[in-house]
Chain A
Amino acid sequence: MFPSWQSSLPFLPWLIALALPLLLVALYFLKLRRTPVEVPSTFLWKKTVEDLHVNSLFQRLRQNLLLLLQLLFLLLLLFALAGPQWRGTQLIGERFIFLIDRSASMSTEEEEGERLALAKEAALRYVDNMPTDAAAMVVSFSDRAQVEQTFTKNRSELKRKIREIEGSPRPTDLEDALKVSAGLANPGRSAFDLSDAQIAQPMPATVYLFSDGNFEPPNFSLEHLEPRYIPIGSDRAKNVGIIAFRVERNSERPDEMQAFVRLHNYHAEAKTVEVELYHQGELIGVQSVNVPGKPDRKPNPQETDPEADASLPSAESQLVTYYAGLVFQLRNFEEGVIEARIVQDDPFLADNRAWAVINPPRAGRVLVVTSGNSPLLYCLRTELSKKISEVEVLSPEVLKAEDYRELASSGRYDLVIFDRCRPEELPPANTFFINEIPSDAWSHGEPAGGPGIIDLDRSHPLLRFVQLDDVVILEAMTNLEGPAGTRTLIEANLGSLLSIAPRGGFQDAVLAFPIVTENDGWGTNWPLRPSFPVFVYQLLRYFGGGEESLNSNSVPPGAPISLRGPAVVDTIEVHLPNGQTVEVERNRRNTFDFVETEQLGAYQVNWGENRQTHFAVNLFNDQESDLKPEQEVQIGYVEVASQEFRQSHRIEGYRYLLVPLALILLAEWFFYNKRVRV
C-alpha cells in the first residue's frame, strides 16, 4: 500500500530540506581536514593502511559508516517531514467494552480453531483498531460475568487479559455481563431503590459482543450502551449431543434398572451414532441409533397460525423430529457412576458424555418424641417406611435432660416429630409438631371441636395423593398462625389445620389436632383412612431426605449442590473429575454446600469410614449444544445484527519513524565513540 503525503512545508523550505543530504556529503568530504602529525616513519602505517585497503568494499563502508548513518537519519527525517499517511481502519467511539463469551459452546472446534480462541483473536484485532485515546474494558461471561480488565487505555494490558481468558463448561447468560458493562454507562441506578436519582454523568460505551449467539435474549435495557455483535463460528459444525440421561429402577422388576439417553441432532443431516454405557469405567452396553436431522429453522411461534392449537401433533412433530431416545436395560447396581458416551467425535465434545450416579439408598434419621402414638408409630414402621428411614422413639421427659440437647444439636436427625410436646430449644432439623406449636413465634387460639376441612394444598409434596374428605377431627387448635413465610396446607373453618414455615435452612410443620389424645383415645379417624400412611410416608420422604438415592444428584456446571450424607461427619472430601480433592465443612443446616462444580463429570464424596457417594455435573443444555451461530441477537427490544463496525481513517506515518530515527541516532553515537576510543 502506497502512502499518501501531507506535508505542511511550502516549496522553498522543501528545496532546502532536500539539499541537506547533499550538503552532508559535501561537508563530510570537506570536514576531512586531518590533523597533521609528524611521525618517525610512515613505513609501518602505510603497511597497516594498505592491509585495510586490500579488505574490499566493506572496509570502505565501515570507514564511512557514520556518513551512511547520518544520511539515513536525514532521509528518514525528510520522509517523516513529508507527512506520509496510510489508509487504515479503526473502531468508532471512545469507550469500548469487549464481552467475550466463554460458555460451553465456545469450546467447539471449528476448522480454524476453537471458537473461544477465534473470539479472542477477533477481540485482539479490535483492540489494535481502537483509536489512540480510547479506553476499553474486557468482560468474559458464561452464566456469570467476570470483569477481566476494567477500563484502561493500556492496550498491552487489554491484550494480555484477553489472552488469559479460559473456557468454561457453563451455560450462557448475557444479562449478567451486560449489567456489569452498564456500570459506568448507565450510572446512578440501583436495583433496590426505585427513587435512586441519577447523579453521575453517563459515559456511553460501545459493547462488542464476541459470541456464537446461543443464549436466551436478555431482558435488559441498553440505554447508553451501543451494542455490536461479532458472531463467532460457522454453521458447518455437526453436533449430536446427549441432552438427557437418567437411570431409574424398573418399576415392574425392582431388581433391574433402566438407563434413558436422549440424543439431539443439531444439524440438518441425520446421523447414526453409537452410545456406550459404562459402569465404573466398565462397558455394560452399547447401542446404535439414527438421529434425524434438525429442521433448518426453529419453529417461530409468531409465524405459526395463531388460531392453531399448540398442542396439536403437527406443531409437536416439528419440535421433536431431531432427537432420538435410547433405553438400556441394566442389572441392579447398588451404587456407582454410570456414564453414557457417544463414540463418534464431533466438534463439541462437552455434550458427548453424560453421567448418572447411583448412591446407596440413604435412610433418613427420624426421632419421634411421644408419650405414645401407636397409629403414627405403626405407619413409621411399615416396610416401605423402613426402607427410607430409621426411626428412634423417645419419651417427652427426655427433652429436659442434658443428653437430649447434645443429641439434638449434633445434627444427627433429619426429622424430629414432637407429639404433643415441645422442646425448649428447637433442634437443627426439620420438625413436625402434632397438636403443639414449635415456638413463641407461632400462636393459636383455644381448641374448638369439629373443624370442617375447606381446602387442601395438594401441590405441596406433603399432601400429594392425600384425600381428607371423610376424615373427622374431634378437636383442633383454632387460628393457628406461624411466623412470616408460613404456608397453610390444610385450611379449615377454624383456621389452619396444617401449616409449614421455614426456619433457617429447615422447615417446621404443625398439625393443629392430636392423632391420639392423652387418655389414649383417638382424636381423629384419619389413621383409619388410607391417606394417613400416605401422608406419613410423604412426611418421611419430604423431610427425611430419603429420596436422594437416584438421579437427584446431577447439577449443571457451576451450580451449587447441597450434599447430605450417610454419616454424621464435620468435614467431607470431594474428589473432582480431574483428580483434585476439596474439603468441605458442614454448614449450620447440617448439609455440605459444594460450589466448585466447574468440571463436567462424576464427583466422588468421601464421608469417612469408607462410605462414599457420588454426584454428577452434566451439561444437558439445549442452547449450548446447538452450535449454529446466530447472525443476529436480541438484547431487550434491540436486535443486533453482525456487520462491519470499523471506519477507514488515515494512519499518520511519522510516529512510526520516530523509533528508527532514535535507533539510528543511538547507533551513530555508538560507532562514533567506538571509533575515537583507543
Chain B
Amino acid sequence: MASDTPQSAASASPRANTLLAPEFLARLEQMELVSRKVLRGRLKGERRSKRRGQSVEFADFRNYVKGDDLRFIDWNLYARLDKLFLKLFLEEEDLHFYTLIDTSRSMDFGEPTKLQYAKQIAAALGFIGLTQSDRVVIETMNQSVTRRSPALRGRASLWRMLDYLQNLEPDGSTDLTTGIKRFCLRHPGPGIVVVISDFMDKNGFEEALRYLVAQRMDAYVIQLLSPEELEPALQGDLKLVDCEDGDIAEITASSALYERYRRTLANFVESLRTFCMKRGMVHLMARTDQPFEQIITQYLRQRGLVR
C-alpha cells in the first residue's frame, strides 16, 4: 500500500508537507522512542523480570517455587529431568506514547507560531512511534476542545495523525491543571508523555505536573517560547493585553524594566526546570526560531527520548 511508506504518506497529504518534510521523515524512520521506565527490563534481557509469563513468546525457564501457577510448569522437562521447571514467556507489551499539546491562544504567537512548532514536534515524535508500532495518542489539554485523537498504531495511521494535528486551532486559555488531570484520568497506564506548552499559566504549573508524577509516566516537558517573549522589543507607554483572558498590564518601556523582565523570565524557566528535574521529568526549553528538527535529532536524543 502506497500510504504505508512515509514518502507516500507525506506526498499524499499536502498537510503533511507543512508539518514534516519528506527528507526529515526519512531520518525519523531510523529512530525509535525510548522509555526510561517501561522498557528498562527489555534492554537488559539477562535479568529475570516479574513481568514475564503473559505472552506466547518463550523467554526462559526457572525453578518451581511454592505458590507458582501450576499451569506454567513445563511437564515435558519434568518427564525428562524429574524436576519442576517453570516456563517463562515475554510480556507482550507495546509502548504507550502520548503527546499533550497546549492549544490555548497564547500558543498562536511567534513566527512560526508556537502551536505550529508544537504540532511539528508532535508529528515527528508520533511518526517515530508509529513506525515502531507504538501506541500513539495525541491530545490537547485545552478544556474547550473535546475532540480527542484516537489511539493510532502503525504507519498507516500517519495520515490520520497529521490530519488531526492540522485541524488543531488555537482556542481558549491555558489551564494546565485541568488539562493534565483529565488526561491522566483517561490514560491511567504507564507510558511516555510529552507535554508541549509555554506553561504561562497564571495558576502555576506545579499542580498540573504533579498529576503526571503520580501517574508514574515517563514525562517529557517541552517549554516553547517565541523570540518575542524572550527578548521583547516594545517601546513607549504600553497597555499589554493578555490574548487569552484580556488581562491588562501597564508598562512604561525602559531598559531597566526589560532587564527586570529578563530576570523574571529566567527565574520562571529555571523554576520549571528545577521542578521537573526533582521529579524525574525531563525539561527542555525550545525557541520557535530554532529549527525544530534540531529539537528532535539533537536535544531530545541527548535527553534519551529518541535514539
Contacts and interface: CB of A to CB of B under 8 A. Distances in A.
Interface of A: 32, 34-49, 51-52, 63, 674-678
B244 A41 contact: yes
Contacts of A35: 236-239
A676 B260 contact: no
Contacts of A37: 234, 238-241
Contact of A43 (B202, B236, B257, B260): B202
B6 to A, nearest CB: 33
B233 interface: yes
B290 interface: no
A41 B240 CA distance: 9
B94 interface: no
A678 B235 contact: yes
Contacts of B202: 41, 43
Nearest to A39: B240
Interface in B10-42: none
Interface of B: 106-109, 114, 174, 198, 200-202, 226, 228-229, 233-244, 247-255, 257-258, 260-261, 264-265, 268
B201 to A, nearest CB: 7
A42 B240 contact: yes
Top 7 A-B pairs, shortest CB-CB distance: A41-B200, A40-B106, A34-B239, A42-B249, A45-B249, A42-B242, A40-B109
Contacts of B228: 39-40
Contacts of A41: 106, 174, 198, 200, 202, 242-244
A377 to B, nearest CB: 108
B253 A39 contact: no
Identify which of B109, B236, B248, B254 gathers the most chain A CB atoms within 10 Å of its CB: B254
Contacts of A42: 240-242, 247-249
Contact of A40 (B200, B248, B254): B200
A32 B237 contact: yes
A40 B251 CA distance: 15
B105 to A, nearest CB: 8
B237 A34 contact: yes
Contacts of B253: 675-676, 678
Nearest to B110: A40
A447 B109 CA distance: 137
A43 B239 CA distance: 14
A39 B239 contact: no
B200 to A, nearest CB: 4
26 contacts: A34-B237, A35-B238, A37-B241, A38-B243, A39-B229, A40-B106, A40-B107, A40-B108, A40-B114, A40-B200, A40-B228, A40-B243, A41-B198, A41-B243, A42-B242, A42-B248, A43-B200, A43-B242, A47-B264, A48-B257, A49-B250, A51-B260, A675-B252, A677-B255, A678-B235, A678-B254
B219 to A, nearest CB: 22
Contacts of B229: 39-40, 44
A276 B194 CA distance: 109
> Interface centre among A34, A37, A43, by most B CB within 10 Å?
A43
Nearest to A63: B252
B187 to A, nearest CB: 28
B241 A36 contact: yes
B200 A44 contact: yes
B264 A44 contact: yes
Given A44-B261, A674-B255, 14 more contacts: A34-B236, A34-B238, A35-B236, A36-B238, A37-B238, A40-B226, A40-B243, A41-B202, A41-B242, A42-B249, A43-B200, A45-B261, A48-B257, A678-B258
A63 B257 CA distance: 11
Contacts of A34: 236-239, 250
A112 to B, nearest CB: 54
A38 B229 CA distance: 12
Given A44-B264, A44-B268, A47-B264, A39 B241 contact: yes
Contacts of A39: 109, 228-229, 240-243
A676 B250 CA distance: 15
A45 B251 contact: yes
A676 B236 contact: yes
A51 B264 contact: yes
Contacts of A46: 247, 249
Contacts of A49: 249-251
A64 to B, nearest CB: 10
A327 B236 CA distance: 95
Nearest to B204: A43
Nearest to A41: B200
Contacts of B261: 44-45, 48
Contacts of A43: 200-202, 242
Contacts of B264: 44, 47-48, 51
A419 to B, nearest CB: 107
B242 A52 contact: no
Contacts of A47: 264, 268
Given A42-B242, A42-B247, A675 B254 contact: yes
A54 B257 CA distance: 14
Nearest to A31: B237
Contacts of B251: 45, 48-49
Given A40-B109, A52-B260, A676-B235, A45 B240 contact: yes
A294 B183 CA distance: 118
A678 B238 CA distance: 14
Given A45-B249, A49-B249, A676-B253, A38 B260 contact: no
Contacts of B268: 44, 47
Contacts of A38: 240-241, 243
Contacts of B243: 38-41
A50 to B, nearest CB: 9
A32 B109 CA distance: 27
A34 B264 CA distance: 23
Nearest to A62: B256
Contacts of B235: 676, 678
Contacts of B107: 40
B290 to A, nearest CB: 18
Contacts of A674: 254-255
Nearest to B235: A676
Nearest to B201: A43
Contacts of A676: 235-236, 253-254
A185 B253 CA distance: 67
A150 B239 CA distance: 66
B252 to A, nearest CB: 7
Nearest to B247: A42
B38 to A, nearest CB: 34
B269 to A, nearest CB: 10
Given A36-B241, A38-B243, A44 B265 contact: yes
A676 B248 CA distance: 20
B63 to A, nearest CB: 60
